[in-house]
Amino acid sequence: MSRLVAGYSSSSEKTLTGVVETQDYDDSTFNYQSRTFSNLGFARDVNNNTVGSVGGFSNLKSAKLTKNKRRKKGSFSNALSDYQGPWAKYSSEEEMGLLSASDGGDGADTDDEHLKRKQLRNDSSEPKLPLSTKFYGKTQFDYQGRTYMHIPKDLSINLQKDPGSQECFVPKKQLSKYNGHYKGLTCLKLFPYSGHLVLSGGNDNKILLWDFYHNKNLLRGYFNHTKSIKSLSFNGDNNVYSIDDNFSSGERGTKFLSCGFDKIVNVWDTEYGKTLKTFKVDSIPNCGRFIPSSVSSNELLIGLNNNNIEHYDLRIPENEKNLVQTYDHHLGPINSITFLDSNQKFLTTSDDKSMRVWDFGINIPIKFISDPTQYSMPRVSIHPQGKYFATQSMDNFVYVYQAHGKYRLNKKKIFKGHSSSGFAIDMDFSPDGKIILSGDNEGRCFFWDWKTCKIVKRITVDSSKRAITNVAFHPQEKSKVIMGGQSGEIYVWE
């Protein structure tokens, strides 16, 4: 179409593909027909004939016909029961079917079918992985019918002595390396007290259990998460060796807690790989811990990305909600949970650059630790004697606080020299409490003297300078340390 001036004139011209006609309209008529053709696929020429998609014109007529035959809305002022408003039905089932056909439906859809289709879409939007485990070792039982949970006694070291009774030193060389995660490593835990097993989780959605001694084989894999592993925690692992608790040596490490980016929290049986409990939480669980003071680890805390800490009790039956308490005073995602004061209180850190101390079961923090110059502290490690705790700060410093009383900052104990900004870098203490260890975002590992705060040694773990985010001292050895990070490999130094 073309437009010239108001009025009408027409001329035709023959071409190879047909006849081209030039028609003249006024501006308002041209704009109206142009919009109609763009939206509905048809327009009218000067002779009032339909040009373009005849189907679009017929659908418009049928829609208008159906709209005109809608029942009257009624008057709200006369009687409330006669008022239909915009919900007035159509006068016949045939016209209702005609409108549904033009919309692409069958005119017979019910609310139940609509809900079924909606639920099917929601179920198919998230991939689901069946609960599974696989044993990779040679034999699951030894000649006495014992599994890998049995603490070995055929070694040159006693793995059942009290941790911290030995004097510890910094490692000098790499002893071995584990390869099992093809993506970055996110979690690394040693078996509580004995350290004869290593539990690892990575960005490949896998949780793997390794033998620390003997052949250093992969023993078992735990597969239930559809996204990266966020946190792992054994029961009975409170990192304070000198404080007595409710656990016997046979109860520690019997189960562990896993949190993933898929908003799933699993409680696993370490020995056979069974899932004892599964929680679907409302937000990404950043950290999870069993409460050490609870008998047989029936209670746990989950720190979520929606600023809340949720307290669960596993003894509550399946048909009831296991949530006992919610702690919701933080203003940012929860980063860590640490138990203080003989496991009677717990400390939480958050992206809101604050720390809070809580009593169990009470949604009011008893201590609020914050400062205008304070940075976010994604990792916390408690000293083996339980009197202090160290925090990994995003300003490349490690700060030390009292673990009791007023929880004051110890300004004389500040460890520096490493680079931790931008990563959640783990820290750990040697079992005797004389050395503090930290990873680094440039592939290094730093060792400081606890008393003088001076760097004792720095080692390059990853030559490609990928971040070392997970570190841990062996609880029974004098100088063995495990480390891992973005490379996905687990390094053992001695």
pLDDT at res. 263: 94
Residue 445 and residue 468 in contact, taking contact as beta carbons nearer than 8 Å: yes
Q: Which residue has the higher pLDDT, 17 or 204?
A: 204
pLDDT at res. 7: 43
Q: Which CATH architecture has domain 133-493?
A: 7 Propeller (2.130)
Q: Which residue has the higher pLDDT, 55 or 8?
A: 55
The string over 284-315, giving b where at least 16 C-beta atoms fall within 10 Å of a residue's C-beta and e elsewhere, is bbbbbbbbbbbeebebbbbbbbebbbbbbbbe
Whether 13 has a pLDDT exceeding 80, the answer reads no
Whether 205 has a pLDDT exceeding 90, the answer reads yes
* pTM: predicted TM-score of the whole model, two decimal places: 0.72
Q: Please report which confidence band the pLDDT of residue 50 belongs to, taking 50, 70 and 90 as the band edges.
A: confident
Q: Which residue has the tokens 């911290």?
A: 164
The mean of the pLDDT values for the chain is 83
Average of per-residue pLDDT across 260-274? 94
Residue 396 and residue 416 in contact, taking contact as beta carbons nearer than 8 Å: yes
Question: How would you classify the pairing of strands 409-416 and 229-234?
Answer: unpaired
pLDDT at res. 105: 44
Average of per-residue pLDDT across 74-90? 58
Q: Tens of pLDDT along 230-261? A: 999 999 877 655 444 444 555 788 999 999 99
Opening angle at CA 390, ends 305 and 285, nearest 5: 15
Q: Please report which confidence band the pLDDT of residue 30 belongs to, taking 50, 70 and 90 as the band edges.
A: confident
Cα gap 296→489, rounded to integer Å:
33
pLDDT at res. 485: 94
For the chain, the domains span 133-493
Q: Please report which confidence band the pLDDT of residue 164 belongs to, taking 50, 70 and 90 as the band edges.
A: confident
Average of per-residue pLDDT across 90-96? 50
pLDDT at res. 83: 61
CA 56 to chain CA centroid, nearest Å: 49
Whether 1 has a pLDDT exceeding 50, the answer reads no
Average of per-residue pLDDT across 97-103? 44
Q: Tens of pLDDT along 333-381? A: 999 999 998 889 999 999 999 999 999 999 999 999 999 999 999 999 9
pLDDT at res. 197: 95
Q: Please report which confidence band the pLDDT of residue 94 belongs to, taking 50, 70 and 90 as the band edges.
A: very low
Whether 270 has a pLDDT exceeding 90, the answer reads yes
Whether 316 has a pLDDT exceeding 80, the answer reads yes
Q: Which residue has the tokens 């746990």?
A: 300
Residue 258 and residue 285 in contact, taking contact as beta carbons nearer than 8 Å: no
